[in-house]
Structure 1
Amino acid sequence: MSSFHVLTNPGQQLDIPEVRSIGPADLVDALRLGWRDFWQRPSHLAFLGLIYPLCGAALALWSSGNNSWPLLFPLISGFALVGPFLALPIYEMSRREELGLDTHWRAAFDVFRSPAFASIAAVGVMMLIAFTVWLMVAQFIYESTFGPGSPATLAVFLSELFNTPQGTSLMIWGNLIGLLFAAAVLATMVVSIPLLLDRDVGAAVAIFTSLRVTIRNPLTIALWGIIVAALLVIGVIPLLVGLAVVVPVLGHATWHLYRKAVVPPGGAR
C-alpha cells in the first residue's frame, strides 16, 4: 500500500499547479466550447446528463412519499453541491477529446480506473458531506420557523411558504444560508476534480488550487457561479428534462474553464 495516496501526489515533491487570471470573456469562451463539445456528440452526453433529471425525479418522489415537501427545494438545489463529482464522466470525455483518444460514451467510464480516483473519491465524499449538512440545516430552519412535522401536501406547503410571514422568513434565511454553502463549494471545487483527472496532485492540493483560482479571480468565479445557477434553474423548469442538456454543456465548459485557469505542466497550452 506504499503507493496509496489521497491528499498529495505520489512523488517526493509536491506538484503545486500555477494559476492564471481569467475574466468574463474566458467564461463566455468556456461556455462556447462546452456547447461545441456537446453538439459534437449530444446523444452520448445527453445520456450522461440524464443522471440529473432521473435523480431529481427520484428525489421529488421520495419527498412526496415521505411528506417531506419542505426538503424538496433543498434536495434539488443542494444536488448541485455534488454535481462536480457526478459530472466526472463528462470531464473524461473532454480530456479524451483533447488527447485524441476514443470518445465513445463507454470510454468515459474509464475514469474510474484513473490513478487519482482515490483522491477524486475523497473530494466526492466531502461534497456528499456538504450536501448532507445542507439538508440537516434546511430541516432545522424549517422546524425553527414552522415547528416540527411536515405539511400534508405540496399545496399546503406552498400556501404556508407564500402566504405567511413565517414562509417569507424561511425563504430569506434558507436562500442566504444556501448561498453560503454554494459559495464554499464553488470556491473549493471549481477546478478540483478536473485537475485531479488531469494531474494526480492529491485532494488537498486540488482543493488548495481551487481556492487559489477563486482568490485570484473572485469576481469572475462569482459570475461563473451565477451562470451555473441560472442555467441549472433553466434546466429544472421543464420538469428537470432540460438538465440532460444543461449538465453536459456545463461539464464540458468546466473542463475548458479549468484549462484557462490552471497552467499545465511545462507552461501555457
Structure 2
Amino acid sequence: MEANPYPSLPAGVPPFDAPRPAFIRHALSAGWSDFRTAPGFGLLTGIASVIAGWVLIGLTIWAGHTFWLILAVFGFPLVAPLCALGTYEVSRRIGMGQPAGIGVILAQLQEERGRQLPWLSMLMVVALLFWFFLGHMIFALFLGLKPMVNVTTSFDVFLSIDGLMMMGLGTVVGGIFAFIFFAMCVFGLPLLLAREVDYMTAILASWGHVQAHIVPMLSWAAVIVVLLFLAMLPGLLGLVVVLPWLGHASWHIYAQMAAGAR
C-alpha cells in the first residue's frame, strides 16, 4: 500500500451523517461568523470575481455577442465553488485554531497543485465549456435564423414560440448540468481539501451522499442559486459578500456531516 504523501491529513472518505435539522441555517450562520473573523481572502475572492465578470460583460458587448452573457449567468453557479475554494480552507483553519491570513491561504492553495484538487477543478472547467457549447447549440437550433442584434435590443424574440421553447429546453438542460455539478462537488471539493483521497473517490462519495439525502441537499442547492442570482443583480457587486459567505457556509455543510471534520 502506497504511503500517504500528506501525513498531516487523514486518509480515505470519512463516514457521513444525515443532514441535521436546520443544517442550512447553522451553516449560513457559521459561514457568516467565519467571514467576519477572517474577511481578507473572502473579500479578495469576491472582488476578483466581480472584476472578472465586468471584463466578461465588456468583451461580449464589444464583440456583439451578448447572448453569451445569458450562458455565463446560468453557468456561473456551476463553477462558483471553485471561485470560493480558498474560503473552505479559511473555515477549516479557523475551526482548527490556525492562522487564516491571505498569504497562508494562497500558499496552501499553491501546495494543492500536487494533490487531487486540480483534477476535479479541470473536470469542472471542461464541463462548463461544454455547457457553453451546448447552450449555444440550443440557441442556434431555435433562434439561429431570427433577426437579433443583441439581448438588450431584441429581447422580444425570447417571447416568441421559438424563444420560449429555447428557454424551456435550456432551463431543463442547465438544471441537469447544475445538479450533476452540485452532486459531485458539494462534498467532493471540501473532501479533497481536508483529506488524502483521489478525486474520483471524492466525486462518488459526494454523489452517493446527495442521492441518499436528495431533498435536504436540493434545498441547499436552491439557497446557493437564489443567493448568487440576487448577488449578481446589482451589477455583480453583491458577489463581493455573498460568494465568500456561501464558500464558508459550504465548508460547514460538509463539516456538519463528515465525521472528524468538526
- Using structure 1 for the length normalisation, give the TM-score: 0.88
What one-letter code is carried by the residue in structure 1 that aligns with 2:90? M
DSSP-derived class of the 1:156 partner: coil
Structure 2 match to 1:65 = 62
Find the residue that maps to 1:201 and give its secondary structure.
coil
In the other structure, the counterpart of 2:164 is: 168
* Residue 41 of structure 1: aligned partner: 38
Q: Is residue 230 of structure 1 aligned with residue 213 of structure 2? A: no
Q: CA shift at 1:192, angstroms?
A: 1.0
Structure 2 gaps of 5+ residues are none
Q: Aligned partners of 1:117, 1:56: CA distance in 2, in Å?
A: 29
Q: For residues 16 and 45 of structure 1, do their structure 2 counterparts lie closer, same or farther at Cα, with a shift above 3 Å needed? A: closer
Aligned partner of 2:119 in structure 1 is 122
Distance 2:101 2:119 in 1: 27
In the superposition, relative to structure 1, how do residues 95 and 263 fare at CA in structure 2: closer, same or farther (>3 Å)?
same
State the percentage of identical aligned residues: 27
Deviations 1:82-141 (A, max 9, x none): 221221211111111112111212211122244575310000011001101110011001
Deviation at 1:176, TM superposition (A): 1.2
Name the structure 1 match of 2:177: 181
1:212-251 residue pairs with structure 2 within 5 A? 212-251=208-247
| Larger CA deviation: 69-78 vs 222-231 | 69-78
2:192 maps to which residue? Answer: 196
More off after superposition, 250-259 vs 96-105: 96-105
1:32 aligns with 2:29: yes
Distance of 1:119 and 1:147 partners within structure 2? 41
Distance 1:171 1:37, change over 3 A: same
Q: 1:257 aligns with which of 250, 253, 259?
A: 253
Kindly provide the CA deviation profile for residues 23-63 of structure 1, in whole angstroms up to 9, marking residues without a partner as x.
45111100111111112233542222112212222221222
Other-structure match for 1:133: 130
Q: 1:122 corresponds to which letter in structure 2?
A: W
> Which residue of structure 1 lines up, in the alignment, with residue 97 of structure 2?
100
Provide the alpha-carbon RMSD of the alignment: 2.3
> In the TM superposition, what is the alpha-carbon distance from 1:159 to its structure 2 partner?
2.3
Aligned residues: 258
Query: Could you list the per-position Cα deviations for residues 129-178 of structure 1 after superposition, in whole angstroms to 9, with x for gaps in the alignment?
Result: 1101110011001000012688323333322123x222211211111110
